[in-house]
């Protein structure tokens, strides 16, 4: 028979622990989470509140363009060109050469393509045209310009001045553009009443050439959309606007996309992990510190001190913690407390709420240990009280305490996450896993952007699970009665 | 026994007095702006009293115009006479609102508790009888996963799958849009459908600890001497487990269930809020967020009383069920 080497208690405990697969798995998860949160935050190229932008194309409707299909009229003087005359002119033009109205004979002459003149007694009284001059000028100028345009002449004379005309319809006087003739009616879109000078020629050119995009003089990108049903072109300007790159899908640059504020999700997840884990640890530290002191005193001294402390524990045990935290959170909301201060407040409150449970545990342990032989021996040896407590009593309480603390780390992280989820815990700009998931309260995010809230939830569940597995494993490992 | 119960009841009442004192001090320490906001709103109603008068009246009504100690005794007097005042948020007497919303919570909690027991006890016993088997690992892991699940995350996942993707249930609320036009059975099914997801959430999140509790206790019982005796005398394993061991496992279970009965009335604060179920939990959440001091005060006191009652009930249940325990005779 092989001789077994003697092993220390710690050695045995470690062996029992590592034989428990779940516990080792939990330890693995926790190690990963710590590396992810603390190292990841340092390695990540971004900071937790770095905002990313993207250029978004914004389409602005500038104008609507239609082709003029009905004749327009202009008159030398309106008294001779009454509405009845105009109506008759419109009725007979292109069909009859003349008509009579109120004993006057009117003659319709074709003056050019789509340009008619109405004469009575050899004198011009009005014209009908499809092509439109803009800006509108006097009758004489309009007539001269249209006549030249409709007959495709390169220039015309009006009031002693010569105007040049190019095939597109631009009218120049001494190289300066003074007007423009086109079949197209251009109306500014809503909120866009004044169109710049260059606009009409540019749009006309694009439409006659069948282009769908064209450029303005300042390099603006304009595009034309033709609506066949309405026989309408709409002119839109596409401009680039810088906006927060919110809810960007996962990509090479942002492995888990970005959140509502255009911040890198993965980085926020790492910093959120830091916050959740650090809060968890500090809270448990505070509550176990208070719990060990009060529980230790109660257990060791017994009698009326024990009674007093335990009644205190009973009282604090009855104070409902979740509603209390919600009320305090709402109050801190109301007082607009600085997010950093708020985090500290949250830790202190959570820590203070946790001590009665630990005090009960420690007291119970100490009460049973105090009666055991080794304590009697310590007393018989004449050891000091402080030495008896700290060297002989407390070390025996510690295994139970560690198990309890590990388990309550998990539940503390859950509590903090729940509060942050409700918007009453850790606040923006600080990330915490809870307040990251808070985004999913918005139904749109819930359905469309899984990458915003599912990873945070998975991290949260894994960490809590890790602590619970670890605690469970430690409990079994510390129990010498377990033989595995 | 009666003497024991009376003594425990007395201690509970004293503890409650202190708890109420703590809650009262906390409420008094909250910034006074709630009362002032309230007074401002009330004074703006047509034909209302001026602002200062409202402030004075509200302060007097809630005992806020006196010192903390004196105010505490006024509060106690109100508590004994069950006069909790009017809720600021809901503008009806606190008790009226309470009796209106409590039954949804109780129904939800009772169904969830029943389901938890049905699931947890058989699985816990199964795991204990086959310790270290695959079943045991599965149950233990499942229980720990359940404990580790954050309510809000699990509820959100359920919503995504069953409400959004599958469209089986509504996202929020207790009744559907066409509730009023349904016949009585239709109304019943409508409410039932709206309670499915909240109840699943409650069961999954809390079934784990009950399962572990059952397993641990069953293991303890299975290691006891009388079980060895039963086996030694040649009883079939089935009889040992389901007759001898199971009965003894019931002792801690009955204690636990007895103790958790009062908490049915406490409502599920987080779950109800997530699903907007108008039970006591969600109602109180709204009241607390709105700074409704009378309702919050009532709810906190009520919860403390429930906790004490739960402790008392579990102790009584323990002494009734376990013949080894004889107290206060």
Return the residue in A280, A323, A470 with the most chain B beta carbons within 10 A, the one to mutate for interface testing: A323
Inter-chain touch B300–A335, beta carbons under 8 Å: no
Instruction: Give the tens place of pLDDT for each residue, B61-97.
Output: 766 777 778 888 888 888 888 888 888 788 888 898 9
Nearest neighbour of A440 by CB, restricted to B156, B270, B285? B156
Instruction: Give the tens place of pLDDT for each residue, B2-55.
Output: 888 888 899 899 999 999 998 888 887 776 566 777 777 777 877 777 888 888
Inter-chain touch A461–B153, beta carbons under 8 Å: yes
Residues B74 and B141 in one domain: no
Residues A178 and A324 in one domain: no
Of A117-126, A246-255, B101-110, B216-225, which gets the smallest average pLDDT? A246-255
Q: Give the pLDDT confidence score for residue A287 in this predicted structure.
A: 93
**Closest-CA distance of chain A to residue B328, Å:** 19
- A7 in a domain, yes or no? no
- B85 in a domain, yes or no? no
Residues B249 and B158 in one domain: yes
- Mark which of B32, B49, B80 sits at the end of a domain: B80
**Quick one: what percent of chain B has pLDDT higher than 70?**
97
Residues B161 and B47 in one domain: no
Torsion angle, CA of A385/A386/A388/A394, rounded to 10 degrees?
140
B226 phi/psi in degrees, rounded to 5? -65, -25
Residues A47 and A96 in one domain: no
Residues B186 and B271 in one domain: yes
Residues of chain A found within 8 Å of residue B303, distances taken between Cβ atoms? 320, 323
Q: Give the pLDDT confidence score for residue A204 in this predicted structure.
A: 79
Inter-chain touch B270–A418, beta carbons under 8 Å: yes
**Closest-CA distance of chain B to residue A300, Å:** 24
d(CA A295, CA A317): 14
The domain in which residue B235 lies consists of: 96-321
Residues A350 and A455 in one domain: yes
- A2 in a domain, yes or no? no
CA distances from A50 to A44, A171, A272, A434 (A): 12, 56, 14, 20
Residues of chain A found within 8 Å of residue B139, distances taken between Cβ atoms? none
Who wins on pLDDT, B327 or B70?
Answer: B70
- A246 in a domain, yes or no? no
- B328 in a domain, yes or no? no
Inter-chain touch A446–B164, beta carbons under 8 Å: yes
Q: What are the residue ranges in chain A where pLDDT is below 50?
A: 1, 484
Residues A259 and A352 in one domain: yes
Residue A462: name the closest of A30, A23, A20 by CA.
A30
d(CA A92, CA A97): 8
Residues B14 and B119 in one domain: no
Closest-CA residue of chain A to B298: A323
Q: Which ipTM value was assigned to this complex? A: 0.86
- Mark which of A171, A192, A213 sits at the end of a domain: A192
Segment (H or E) for A177: strand A176-182
Residues B44 and B174 in one domain: no
Residues B113 and B60 in one domain: no
Residues A31 and A86 in one domain: no
- A461 in a domain, yes or no? yes
d(CA A97, CA A243): 64
What CATH number is given to the structural domain containing A353? 1.10.3720.10
d(CA A205, CA A234): 14
Pairing of the two strands A104-112 and A176-182? unpaired
pTM, entire model: 0.75
Inter-chain touch A418–B147, beta carbons under 8 Å: no
Is some CB atom of chain A closer than 8 A to the CB atom of B171? yes
- A213 in a domain, yes or no? no
DSSP letter string over A248-270? PPP-SSSTT-B-TTSBBHHHHHH
Residues B161 and B27 in one domain: no
**Closest-CA distance of chain B to residue A30, Å:** 14
Residues B100 and B215 in one domain: yes
Residues A307 and A342 in one domain: yes
Q: Which two tokens stand for residue A186?
A: 């251009």
- Mark which of B80, B110, B133 sits at the end of a domain: B80
Residues B129 and B278 in one domain: yes
Residues B177 and B274 in one domain: yes
Inter-chain touch B304–A320, beta carbons under 8 Å: yes
CB B296 within 8 A of CB A323: yes
Residues A80 and A110 in one domain: yes
Return the residue in B140, B149, B152 with the most chain A beta carbons within 10 A, the one to mutate for interface testing: B152
Instruction: Give the tens place of pLDDT for each residue, B45-66.
Output: 777 778 888 888 877 776 677 7
Residue B199: name the closest of B106, B293, B295, B124 by CA.
B106
Q: Give the pLDDT confidence score for residue B329 in this predicted structure.
A: 44
**Closest-CA distance of chain A to residue B285, Å:** 8
Residues A96 and A151 in one domain: yes
Nearest neighbour of A417 by CB, restricted to B150, B156, B160? B150
**Closest-CA distance of chain A to residue B149, Å:** 6
Structurally, how many domains does chain B consist of? 2
The number of beta carbons lying within 10 Å of the beta carbon of residue A97 is 11
- B139 in a domain, yes or no? yes
- Mark which of B54, B80, B106 sits at the end of a domain: B80
d(CA A39, CA B173): 43
Inter-chain touch B304–A457, beta carbons under 8 Å: no
Is some CB atom of chain A closer than 8 A to the CB atom of B156? yes
pLDDT at B116 over 90: yes
Inter-chain touch A314–B15, beta carbons under 8 Å: yes
Q: Which two tokens stand for residue A416?
A: 């903090």
- The average pLDDT across B226-239 equals 89
Residues A288 and A412 in one domain: yes
User: For chain A, how big is the Rg over CA atoms in Å?
Assistant: 44
| Chain A residues within 8 angstroms (CB to CB) of chain B | 22, 311, 314-315, 317-320, 322-324, 326-327, 330-331, 334-335, 410, 414, 417-418, 421-422, 434, 437, 440, 443, 446-447, 450, 453, 457, 460-461, 464-465, 468-469, 472, 484
Q: Give the pLDDT confidence score for residue B271 in this predicted structure.
A: 92
- B72 in a domain, yes or no? yes
d(CA B31, CA A73): 77
Residue B59: name the closest of B49, B71, B47 by CA.
B71
Query: Any bridge partners for residue A158, and if so which?
Result: A161
CA distances from A210 to A225, A378, A413 (A): 11, 104, 65
Inter-chain touch B147–A335, beta carbons under 8 Å: no
Structurally, how many domains does chain A consist of? 2
- B86 in a domain, yes or no? no
Nearest neighbour of A437 by CB, restricted to B140, B156, B308? B156
d(CA A351, CA A360): 15
- A216 in a domain, yes or no? no
Give the HSE-up count for residue B266: Cα atoms under 13 Å, Cβ half-sphere: 25
Sheet (strand A170-173) strand order: A132-134, A176-182, A170-173, A161-165, A155-158
Residues of chain A found within 8 Å of residue B300, distances taken between Cβ atoms? 319-320, 323-324
Max Cα–Cα distance, chain A, nearest Å: 146
d(CA A169, CA A148): 10
Q: Give the pLDDT confidence score for residue A3 in this predicted structure.
A: 60
Spell out the long-range contacts of B37-46 with Cβ–Cβ below 8 A and sequence spacing 24 or more: B37/B291, B38/B88
What CATH number is given to the structural domain containing B182? 1.10.3720.10
Is some CB atom of chain A closer than 8 A to the CB atom of B15? yes
Instruction: Give the tens place of pLDDT for each residue, B136-147.
Output: 889 989 999 999
Of A68-77, B200-209, B308-317, which gets the smallest average pLDDT? A68-77
Residues A47 and A130 in one domain: no
- A298 in a domain, yes or no? yes
- Mark which of A161, A192, A223 sits at the end of a domain: A192
Is some CB atom of chain A closer than 8 A to the CB atom of B131? no
Task: Give ∠ CA A439-A443-A446 in degrees, rounded to 5.
Answer: 60
Inter-chain touch B289–A330, beta carbons under 8 Å: yes
Residues B107 and B195 in one domain: yes
Q: Is B2 exposed, middle or buried (0-12, 13-18, 19+ CB in 10 A)?
A: exposed
Is some CB atom of chain A closer than 8 A to the CB atom of B13? no
- B60 in a domain, yes or no? yes
- Mark which of A141, A176, A192 sits at the end of a domain: A192
DSSP letter string over B15-80? HHHHHHHHHHHHHHHS-THHHHHHHHHHHTSTTPPPHHHHHHHHHHHTT-SS-HHHHHHHHHHHHH
- B87 in a domain, yes or no? no
Residues A415 and A311 in one domain: yes
- A6 in a domain, yes or no? no
Spell out the long-range contacts of B122-128 with Cβ–Cβ below 8 A and sequence spacing 24 or more: B123/B211, B123/B214, B124/B210, B124/B211, B124/B212, B124/B213, B124/B214, B124/B215, B124/B218, B125/B214, B125/B215, B125/B218, B125/B241, B125/B246, B125/B249, B127/B211, B127/B215, B128/B214, B128/B215, B128/B216, B128/B218, B128/B219, B128/B222
The domain in which residue A429 lies consists of: 19-52+251-482
- B90 in a domain, yes or no? no
């Amino acid at each position: 028979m092989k001789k077994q080497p003697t092993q220390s208690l710690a050695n045995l405990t470690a062996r029992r622990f590592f034989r428990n697969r779940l516990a080792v798995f939990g330890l693995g998860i926790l190690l990963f989470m710590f590396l992810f949160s603390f190292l990841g935050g340092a390695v990540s190229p971004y900071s937790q509140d770095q905002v990313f932008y993207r250029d978004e194309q914004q389409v602005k409707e500038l104008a609507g363009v239609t082709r003029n299909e009905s004749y327009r009229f202009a008159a030398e003087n309106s008294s001779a060109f009454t509405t009845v005359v105009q109506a008759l002119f419109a009725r007979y033009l292109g069909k009859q050469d003349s008509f009579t109205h109120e004993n006057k004979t009117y003659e319709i002459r074709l003056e050019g393509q789509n340009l008619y003149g109405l004469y009575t007694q050899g004198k011009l009284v009005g014209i009908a045209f499809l092509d439109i001059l803009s800006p509108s000028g006097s009758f004489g100028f309009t007539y001269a310009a249209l006549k030249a345009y409709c007959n495709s002449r390169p220039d015309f004379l009006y009031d002693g001045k010569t105007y040049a005309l190019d095939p597109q319809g631009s009218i120049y006087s001494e190289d300066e553009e003074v007007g423009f003739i086109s079949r197209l009616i251009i109306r500014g879109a809503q909120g866009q009443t004044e169109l710049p000078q260059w606009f009409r020629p540019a749009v006309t050119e694009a439409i006659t050439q069948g282009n769908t995009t064209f450029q303005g003089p300042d390099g603006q990108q304009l595009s034309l959309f033709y609506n066949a049903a309405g026989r309408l072109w709409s002119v839109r300007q596409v401009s680039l606007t810088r906006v927060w790159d919110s809810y960007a899908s996962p990509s090479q640059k942002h492995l888990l996309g970005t959140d509502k504020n255009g911040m890198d999700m993965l980085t926020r997840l790492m910093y959120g992990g830091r916050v959740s884990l650090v809060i968890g640890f500090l809270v448990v530290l505070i509550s176990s510190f208070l719990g060990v002191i009060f529980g230790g005193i109660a257990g060791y001294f017994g009698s009326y001190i024990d009674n007093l402390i335990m009644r205190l524990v009973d009282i604090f045990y009855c104070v409902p913690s979740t509603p209390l935290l919600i009320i305090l959170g709402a109050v801190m909301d109301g007082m607009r407390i600085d997010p950093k201060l708020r985090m500290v407040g949250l830790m202190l409150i959570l820590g203070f709420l946790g001590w009665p449970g630990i005090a009960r545990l420690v007291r119970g342990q100490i009460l049973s240990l105090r009666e055991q032989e080794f304590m009697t021996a310590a007393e018989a040896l004449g050891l000091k009280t402080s030495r008896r407590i700290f060297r002989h009593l407390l070390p025996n309480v510690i295994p139970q305490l560690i198990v309890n603390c590990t388990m309550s780390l998990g539940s503390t992280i859950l509590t903090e996450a729940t509060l942050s989820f409700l918007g009453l815990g850790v606040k923006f700009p600080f990330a915490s896993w809870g307040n990251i998931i808070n985004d999913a309260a918005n139904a749109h995010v819930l359905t469309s952007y899984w990458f915003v809230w599912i990873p945070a939830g998975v991290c949260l569940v894994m960490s809590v699970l890790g602590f619970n597995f670890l605690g469970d494993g430690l409990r079994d490992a510390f129990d010498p009665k377990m033989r595995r | 026994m009666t003497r024991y119960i009376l003594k425990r009841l007395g201690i509970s009442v004293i503890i409650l007095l202190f708890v109420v004192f703590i809650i009262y001090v906390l409420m008094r320490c909250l910034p006074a702006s709630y009362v002032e906001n309230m007074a401002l709103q009330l004074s703006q109603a047509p034909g209302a009293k001026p602002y200062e008068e409202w402030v004075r009246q509200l302060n007097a009504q809630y005992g806020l115009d006196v010192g903390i100690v004196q105010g505490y005794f006024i509060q106690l007097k109100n508590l004994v006479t069950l006069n909790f005042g009017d809720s600021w948020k809901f503008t009806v007497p606190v008790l009226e609102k309470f009796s209106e919303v409590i039954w949804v919570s109780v129904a939800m909690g009772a169904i969830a508790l029943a389901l938890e027991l049905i699931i947890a006890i058989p699985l816990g016993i199964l795991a204990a009888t086959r310790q270290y088997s695959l079943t045991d690992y599965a149950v233990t892991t499942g229980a720990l996963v359940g404990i580790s699940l954050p309510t809000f995350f699990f509820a959100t996942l359920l919503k995504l799958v069953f409400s959004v993707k599958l469209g089986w249930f509504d996202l929020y609320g207790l009744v559907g849009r066409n509730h009023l036009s349904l016949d009585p059975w239709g109304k019943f099914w409508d409410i039932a459908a709206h309670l499915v997801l909240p109840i699943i959430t409650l069961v999954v999140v809390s079934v784990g600890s009950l399962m572990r509790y059952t397993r641990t206790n069953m293991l303890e019982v299975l290691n006891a001497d009388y079980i060895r005796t039963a086996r030694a005398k040649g009883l079939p394993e089935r009889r040992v487990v389901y007759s001898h061991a199971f009965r003894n496992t019931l002792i801690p279970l009955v204690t636990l269930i007895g103790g958790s009965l009062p908490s049915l009335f406490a409502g599920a604060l987080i779950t109800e809020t997530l699903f907007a179920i108008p039970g006591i939990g969600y109602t109180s959440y709204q009241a607390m967020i709105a700074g409704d001091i009378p309702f919050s005060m009532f709810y906190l006191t009520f919860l403390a009383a429930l906790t004490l009652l739960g402790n008392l009930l579990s102790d009584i249940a323990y002494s009734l069920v376990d013949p080894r325990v004889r107290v206060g005779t």
